[in-house]
Amino acid sequence: MRLIGQIALVLVMFLGAGPSAAQDSQYWTQKYGTRGLLLSGVVIGHGVDLSTTFYNPGGLALLSDSMSVIAVKAYDFSNVKIVDATLTGKDLSEPRNSVLPTFFGGTTPFRLFGSSPLAYSLFPRQLAKFNMNARGILVADALPQAAGPEDVVTEARFEEDLDETWGGVTWSKRIGGRAAIGLSQYVAIRSQRTRRQLTAEALANDSIAGAAVDVRGFSYNDIRAVTKLGLVLEFSSLKAGLAITSPGVHISGSADVGWNRFRDGIDVDNDGNLDNELIASFQEGVPVKFRSPPAIGAGLSFDTHSTTIHLSAEAFGSQDRYSVFELAPATELGSGQSVAFQFYDERESVLNYGVGVEHHTGPVSALFASFSSDITANPHATSDLAFGDWDSYLITAGMIFPIGRTEFTLGLGYGFGSGDAERFKRLDDSAATGTILGTDFDQAETRYQNFRLIVGFTI
């Protein structure tokens, strides 16, 4: 029985080879704006384009009164490799190409309480897509009640589709000649669908067989409000900024959640007795309690002749373990007993940082280079909502140059990083084995790599 558990674990580990564009536990993966994107978002201290509505709302008052970001796109070519991901030490990987939406925004003719023109923005805050499937057919000694090896079929499937979009309005006003304050009020709309399916079937002869199935999943929509406050101080060659992001304030949300576990002819705990059972629960319209932590960021930018240096760092708070959905217990249909049924989320505090260089070659034209970190808030696989566990780093270079009245943006990015793959080592309550797998994958490691082509324009 231990072997079938190992097989199931290997198959689930294969599901980790998802696209690096997927991002459900990192905060700095998405970059915004034209200059802001080429500077890897290291612009908290100084607004360089309309992305300041997100990075630091205070910077809006220091920009020109009329500006629109029509389109910015990042073409992403990515790969995540799981090193030593199988019992044989084989590496597993899954390349993925995608087009990432980034930022759309502009200014309006409206002013409020002596402010600069109000601005609007719409952008993706988190994106993740996985659709992985692994199957195996082999001969193994999987059934304790039968002598010798049996034919065994295993299949594992993991699906995730996460999309969180922020849209809002930004107010900003100068205070005196050297300071500006701002506020961005966002509505965050989050939709996530996840399904995990694990099956194992074994046949010794026409009278001895075993099967195990575990299918769990959820689909929910959640709406919350998020507020960002910003302050920018401007001196002759130095600018400094501070930005505070509030925790998410729940507005509404509901979910459909299900679990179906079936075991027949399987000795899960190796006590010599078959552990046949059927557990099921399908709950619709249950309340959602998704939470997002607060954050505080600070930045500096200083000019040296025709070059500007940007520095930024942002700290994100932790989120204690909590149940995401208000679920009733599942039921063991044979005995009628209640079985605990929950999906949990938990995030650790993280600090991201970066540096960017902007070299002006003309009134509008400029060259850019930048580096930034993107640390995971889920390093120990403690979240049932977040899958990614890798810390990553991004290097970006590019240019902006005029074409008529339009500023054209062109850049390249390279991301790299790794994780400890601990989410695989902690696979619990599998369909085949229960909570103790007795398998050691200490050498497993997640390795991340991606390339980006950035194209955009501003008028």
Residue by residue, DSSP assigns 357-422 as EEEESSSS-EEEEEEEEE--S-TTS--SS-----EEEEEEEEEEEEETTEEEEEEEEEEEEEE--H
Instruction: Let me know the angle formed at the C-alpha of 124 by 122 and 126, rounded to the nearest 5 degrees.
Output: 150
Q: State the pLDDT confidence band at 69, using cuts at 50, 70 and 90.
A: low
Residue 177 backbone dihedrals phi, psi, to 5 degrees? -95, -10
289 Cβ neighbours under 8 A, 6+ residues apart: 250, 253, 322, 323, 324, 325, 326
Q: Which amino acid is at 84?
A: D
- Checking if the pLDDT of 428 tops 50, the result is no
Residue-level pLDDT at 1: 42
Residue-level pLDDT at 267: 67
Residue-level pLDDT at 150: 80
Q: State the pLDDT confidence band at 427, using cuts at 50, 70 and 90.
A: very low
Superfamily of the domain at 2-458: Outer membrane protein transport protein (OMPP1/FadL/TodX) (2.40.160.60)
- Checking if the pLDDT of 125 tops 80, the result is yes
Q: State the pLDDT confidence band at 14, using cuts at 50, 70 and 90.
A: very low
More confident residue, 306 or 71: 306
Mean pLDDT of 395-405: 90
More confident residue, 25 or 64: 25
For the CA atoms of the chain, what is the radius of gyration? 25
- Checking if the pLDDT of 5 tops 50, the result is no
Q: Out of 102-111, 294-303, 334-343, pick the least confident.
A: 102-111
Tokens read off for 36: 């802001």
Residue-level pLDDT at 145: 76
Residue-level pLDDT at 322: 94
Would you say 281 and 259 are in contact if contact means Cβ atoms under 8 Å apart? yes
Residue-level pLDDT at 283: 97
Q: State the pLDDT confidence band at 432, using cuts at 50, 70 and 90.
A: very low
Q: Out of 133-137, 187-191, 256-260, 367-371, pick the least confident.
A: 133-137
- Checking if the pLDDT of 385 tops 60, the result is yes
**Average pLDDT over all residues of the chain:** 82
Tokens read off for 29: 């993966």
Using a pLDDT cut of 90, give the percent of the chain over it: 47
Question: Which one of 210-219, 223-232, 403-412 scores highest in mean pLDDT?
Answer: 223-232
Residue-level pLDDT at 301: 96
Residue-level pLDDT at 101: 61
Q: What is the pTM of this model?
A: 0.86
Residue 167 CA, distance from chain mean position: 18
Using a pLDDT cut of 70, give the percent of the chain over it: 80
- Checking if the pLDDT of 50 tops 50, the result is yes
More confident residue, 89 or 114: 114
- Neighbouring C-beta atoms of residue 206, cutoff 10 Å: 6
What ranges do the domains of the chain cover? Answer: 2-458
Residue-level pLDDT at 325: 96
Mean pLDDT of 359-383: 88
Summarised one tens digit per residue, pLDDT across range 240-285 is 999 999 999 999 999 999 999 998 887 666 666 777 889 999 999 9
